A and B are shown apart, each in its own frame.
Chain A
Amino acid sequence: MDELEFDDVLDDWFIESLKTYRDLHVYQLEHPTQVIEWTSEKTVCVAGCSLKKNEILELRLPLRLFAEENKGLCAERDFKVVHGGFTDGPVRCLRHIPGTRCLVTNDGLSAELQLWGLGGDDSNVIRRTGSIEGSRSVLECGSRIAVRDSSRPQVLHGAQSSGVQLTELSSGQMLYKLDTDAADPLSSLQFVSDSVFLASCCNGNIYVADTRTSAAPQLYPPPACSGESVFWWTDASSGPDLSGCKVIRLSSSGQAMVSDLRSLEGAVSQAHLDIQACHHGLDVVRVSWAPVLDNCIALSGFSGAVHIYDTSVWTTELQEAQLLFEHRGHVVSLQSEDAVPVFITSHVWHPDRPRTLLSAASDGSVHVWDWVDQSGTRAEVNKLKGSVHPTLTCGAV
C-alpha cells in the first residue's frame, strides 16, 4: 500500500464525508472487539475475542469530541488507554455495573461470569476480582448479561430462559430466578425499569418478568409468519417510565416489528429491512434504539456498515424500509485492502449526544462518528429526555 498516493485518499466516500459527518475519528486497535460498553460519559471499554489471552481496555474518547465552544483549539483526537487488563479467554459480553468501578464479562463459551475491578487513580490495571457461576446450559453458548443501577450491585444473567437468574455480586447469592422450564437460548437480556426485564430468545419468544415477584413471566411468541430457522433479536427503548417503552424485534429474514412494551402481542408498525444473509455468526448482530433521537434505530452485524432507520415513518403494512443513514467507513477505510470482507462486530449510541455512535469491526477498527441528518424527514431529538441510564441504551446483547 503506497502511503504517498494522495489521489486515492480523496475517494468518493471521503469527499462525501465532509458533508455527511460533523465529526469522524478512525482508530485501529491491535485486536478486534465484539464489545463496546460505556463506563462513564467519556469512557468506554473494549475487549478482545480471540480464544486465548486477550486485553480489556478502558478508553477515554478524544477530548476534541467534547470540546463544545473552543473545539478548534483542542487538537486532541486520540483515544487514551486509561486502564487495561488481561483475560484468559475471549470476551463476548461485557457490562459495566452503574455506580461502581466493576465490570462483568462472559466468554461466550460457558455460563460463568468474570468480575473485574477497573482500578482508580492508584493503578491503571484492570484486575480480576472474582467470578459468578451461572446455570449450565445444554448448549455450549455464552450468557447474556443485564445490569441496572442499584444500591447493592446485582447482575441478571443466563444463557437460556430456564437459567435466567439475578445474582448479588458481593455474596454470590441468587436473589431471583425466571420461572420457566423452557430452555430457549437467549439473544438478549435487558432491564426496562428497576425491576422489569425482557429475556428475548433466539427463537423469537420474549419473556417479560419482574424481579420483585416470583410470579410466572408473561410470554410473547414471535409473529406467526416466523419460520423455523429464523433467528430473532430484540431491543427495548429507554425512558423515564414504562409507558413510552417501545420494543423492536428483528428477524434474520429481515422482518422488523415495533411494539409497545405493554402490548407485545401486537405491532405498532413494521418494515422489511434489506439485510444480507448472516455469515459472521449471529452473536455480532446488534439492533439498538437511539437514546436521544426519537424512533431511530441502529443496526449492525450483517455487513461492514452500520444502518440507521427512522421507524416513525413505518406503517402497519410490510414495506421496504428506507435508510436514514449508512456508515460505510469501515469498508472504505484504507486498512481493509485484503480479500477478507470486514463486518461490524459492535456498535453503541452515545447516551447524550443525539447522532454520535461508536462502531467496531472485524479488522480491529473502531470509529467514532457524528453524522449529519440530510434526509427531508428530520428525526426529532427528544427534549424531554432527562437523565438517561447508560445501561439501558445498550444494544441487543
Chain B
Amino acid sequence: MPEIKVTPLGAGQDVGRSCILVSIGGKNLMLDCGMHMGYNDDRRFPDFSYITQNGRLTDFLDCVIISHFHLDHCGALPYMSEMVGYDGPIYMTHPTKAICPILLEDFRKITVDKKGETNFFTSQMIKDCMKKVIPLNLHQTVQVDDELEIKAYYAGHVLGAAMVQIKVGSESVVYTGDYNMTPDRHLGAAWIDKCRPDILISESTYATTIRDSKRCRERDFLKKVHESIERGGKVLIPVFAPGRAQELCILLETFWERMNLKAPIYFSTGLTEKANHYYKLFITWTNQKIRKTFVQRNMFEFKHIKAFDRSYADNPGPMVVFATPGMLHAGQSLQIFKKWAGNEKNMVIMPGYCVQGTIGHKILNGQRKLEMEGRTTLDVKLQVEYMSFSAHADAKGIMQLIRMAEPRNMLLVHGEAVKMEFLKGKIEQEFSVDCYMPANGETTTVTTNPSVPVDISLNLLKREMALGGPLPDPKKPRTMHGTLIMKENSLKLVSSEQALKELGLNEHQLRFTCRVQLQDPHSDSDTLHRIYKHLKSVLKGYTIQHLPDGTVMVESIVIKVSSSADDTNTKVLLLSWSYQDEDLGSFLSSLLKKGLPSGLC
C-alpha cells in the first residue's frame, strides 16, 4: 500500500524550531528549516544526520519549502544550504523572500558580532542561499518536477506566511506552518479550499490554548500608553515590520481622536525608509479589503502621527515613538531607549519576541542593569511591557481548519503526547480521522488509499451500461470487462476489440460448454419449452428467447436439449457461454442441475 512518511526533526520535546521531513510518492521534502532560539550551541540547528550521516543533502531532497520569515522557521536555512550543503530549489512566497535575508542578517550580526560566536553562517552565505530561492504566488500550482507539484495558500499570521499543499499523483499533504483562523486587522485569516489532503500537518504549540480577544489586547495597549502619557512619560515602541506598526498606529490615531489627546506620536525615519519597499510587498500580498484600509490610511497621511527626528527625543513632555529595529539591538530604537531608560515615568512596549543577546531580550527577562559599550552601565528604570500581538490558531482554530480542508488524516507536531490526548480524541471523534502526534525524531507512516484516475472509452461505457441487471444480488457492483491500456502517462479503459485493434492482435474467443443431465419424460422440444418457461419466471429482467432453431438463449448463452442415447427420459442439456457471461452461465448450470419444477405445463 502506498505510504506517506513524516518526521519532525529535533530531539525530545523541543518545541523551539520547525523542520519537518516528508516522503511522498518517492519524493523527499523539507518543510521549514528553523533555528532553535533557546540554544547557543549546535543544538540550535536541526539534526540533518537523519537525512544523511555526512555529505551534502542535494541528492536526498527534492525541494525545501519555507512557510514564513520567523527565525524558528527559517533561521537555519543558510546553515543547511551553505554549511551542510544543498543546491536544490528552495520555495517561499515573495514577501518571505524579501524579508528573510534581512532578518537572517540581523540575527547573524547579533550572534556573531555581539556574542562572538564562531560556528555560524556568514553574510555571503545568506546571499548564496537566497540565490537558490524560487518565489511562490498564492494559489498558483508550481511544478517542482514531472511528478511533484506545490501550491501556496494564505496563512495570515505574518506578512508572506503561507500554508503549502504538496501533491504527487493523487497523494497530497498540506503543511500549515503558523497560521490563524480569526482575522488579524492587517492580515486577515488563513484560508484553504476543500482539497482533502491525505495528511494535514499542523503545529500543536497553541492547540491547547483559548486565545484572549484582540480587543482586550488592544485595550491593554491603549491603557498602558494612556497611563504613561497622562503622567507625562514617553513611550517607545520598537517595531520591525510596517504591517504591525501601522496597525498599532491606526489604533493610536483613532484613540487620540476619540479622547482628544494632544501628545505627539512619531514614526521613525528608519521605518519610513523601509516602508515603501515593504509597502509594495504588503499591498500585493493582502486582500482587497485590507488593501483598501491601508491604502486609505497611508502612514504618511496620519493626522496625529508625524515623522520623527532624532532631536525630538530630548523634547520635554509626553510622546509616543515607533522606531526600528524591533529588538532594541542597534539603531534608532536603541538610541532612544538609552535616553529614556532612566526615567520611571517612561515606558517601552515590546510587541514581539526578542532574540537572545539583544537588549530587548534582556529587559524582557527582568534585567534592570545593562552593560553598554565602553563598559558603562545603564539603569533601566522605565516600565517594560511585553505585549504579544501575533496571531496564532488555537484549539478552535485547528478544528476550523480541519473542517475547511477535510483531510483524511491529521498530524500534529511539537506537542507532548500527554498534553495532546484530549485534542486527539476530539479530532478523531468529530471528524472520524486518525490523528498522529509523532515526537521529534520519530517517523509517522500513514497508509494512503489513492484513487487512480482512468479514462474510459465512451463506447465501452455505453455498452456495459446497456446490459441487464446482475444476479443474484441486484445491489452488488457489476463487473465490467474491458482492457486497461497504459500509454505514456495516461491510463485508458477500452473495449477488448478496440484494444486488440490498437495492439494489432487477433481476437480469440473463449467459450465454456457444460452438460447438465435432467430427468424429464417429455419430448426434447417440450423439455426445451419447459426450460424456457422456468427461466423466464426466475430470470426477470433478462432477455430470454425461445428460438425457432431449437435453442433457448439467455442473453448470449445458448441452451440445447437432446435425449440420452440410452434413455429418452434422461435429457442432456448443453449450455454454452462466452467468457464474459461466466457468472450468468455458472448460475444457469447450477439452477438447471436442480431440475425443473413440477408445476410447469
Interfacial residues, chain A to chain B (CB-CB below 8 A): 2-4, 6-7, 9-10, 14-15, 17-18, 24-30, 53, 55, 59, 62, 70, 72-75, 77-86, 121-126, 333-334
Contact = CB atoms under 8 A, between A and B. Distances in A.
Interface in B189-222: 206, 208-213, 215-220, 222
A15 B217 contact: no
B258 A10 contact: yes
B364 interface: yes
Given A73-B366, A75-B387, A125-B421, A6 B251 contact: yes
B16 to A, nearest CB: 17
B418 A121 contact: yes
A26 B212 contact: yes
Contacts of B183: 3
B363 to A, nearest CB: 8
Contact of A10 (B188, B255, B289, B426): B255
B20 to A, nearest CB: 24
B226 interface: yes
A79 B210 contact: yes
A24 B418 contact: no
B426 A4 contact: no
Nearest to A72: B385
Contact of B425 (A14, A18, A125): A125
A26 B210 contact: no
Contacts of B210: 27-29, 59, 78-81
B420 A124 contact: yes
Contacts of A28: 210, 213, 396
Interface string B519-538: 00000000000000000000
A24 B259 CA distance: 20
A83 B212 contact: no
Nearest to B212: A77
Given A4-B293, A84-B422, A74 B216 contact: no
Interface in B86-136: none
Given A75-B387, A75-B388, A84-B422, A9 B395 contact: no
Interface string B419-434: 1111101100100000
Given A6-B185, A73-B384, 5 more contacts: A9-B254, A53-B429, A77-B212, A77-B217, A78-B209
A118 to B, nearest CB: 12
B383 interface: yes
A28 B219 CA distance: 17
Contacts of B188: 3
Contacts of B405: none
Nearest to A364: B396
18 contacts: A3-B188, A4-B185, A6-B250, A7-B254, A9-B218, A15-B259, A27-B211, A27-B213, A59-B210, A73-B366, A77-B211, A78-B206, A78-B210, A122-B418, A124-B208, A124-B418, A124-B422, A333-B215
B386 interface: yes
B340 to A, nearest CB: 16
Contacts of B369: none
B72 interface: no
Nearest to B424: A125
Contacts of B419: 124
Nearest to A59: B210
Contacts of B213: 25-28, 333
Contacts of B420: 124
B558 interface: no
Contact of B254 (A6, A27, A83): A6
Interface string B211-237: 111011111101100100000000000
Contacts of B226: 18
Interface of B: 183-185, 188, 206, 208-213, 215-220, 222-223, 226, 250-251, 254-255, 258-259, 289-290, 293, 364-366, 383-388, 394-396, 399, 418-423, 425-426, 429
Given A10-B255, A30-B399, A125-B425, A74 B219 contact: no
A69 B556 CA distance: 92
A333 B396 CA distance: 18
Nearest to B259: A15
B211 A78 contact: yes
A46 to B, nearest CB: 10
B418 A78 contact: no
A14 B388 contact: no
Given A18-B223, A73-B384, A78-B212, A123 B185 contact: no
Task: Give the 5 A-B residue pairs with the shortest CB-CB distance, closest first.
Answer: A84-B422, A77-B212, A26-B213, A79-B210, A75-B388
Contacts of A3: 183-185, 188
Nearest to B293: A4
Contacts of A62: 212
Contact of A25 (B185, B212, B384, B425): B212
Contacts of A10: 254-255, 258
A18 B396 contact: no
A85 B423 CA distance: 10
A26 B216 CA distance: 7
Contacts of A70: 366
Given A4-B290, A24-B216, A55-B426, A30 B396 contact: yes
Which of A18, A30, A59, A86: most chain B Cβ within 10 A? Answer: A18
A86 to B, nearest CB: 7
A333 B216 CA distance: 10
Contacts of B259: 15
Which of A25, A72, A78: most chain B Cβ within 10 A? Answer: A72
Nearest to A369: B216
B209 A73 contact: no
B425 A334 contact: no
Contacts of A55: 426
Contact of A84 (B209, B383, B388, B426): B426
A123 B421 contact: yes
A26 B423 CA distance: 22
A80 B215 CA distance: 19
A26 B429 CA distance: 28
B426 A18 contact: no
Contacts of A121: 418
Nearest to B206: A78
Contacts of B216: 24-26, 77
A81 B212 contact: no
B258 A15 contact: yes
Which of A10, A70, A80: most chain B Cβ within 10 A? Answer: A10
Contact of B383 (A27, A59, A72, A125): A72
Contacts of A122: 418
B209 A72 contact: no
A78 B219 contact: no
A15 B209 CA distance: 28
A15 B365 CA distance: 31
B344 to A, nearest CB: 12
A175 to B, nearest CB: 34
B395 A81 contact: yes
Contacts of B289: 2, 4
Contacts of B429: 53, 86
Contacts of A80: 208-210
B158 to A, nearest CB: 17
Contact of A72 (B254, B386, B388, B399): B386
Which of A17, A74, A124: most chain B Cβ within 10 A? Answer: A124
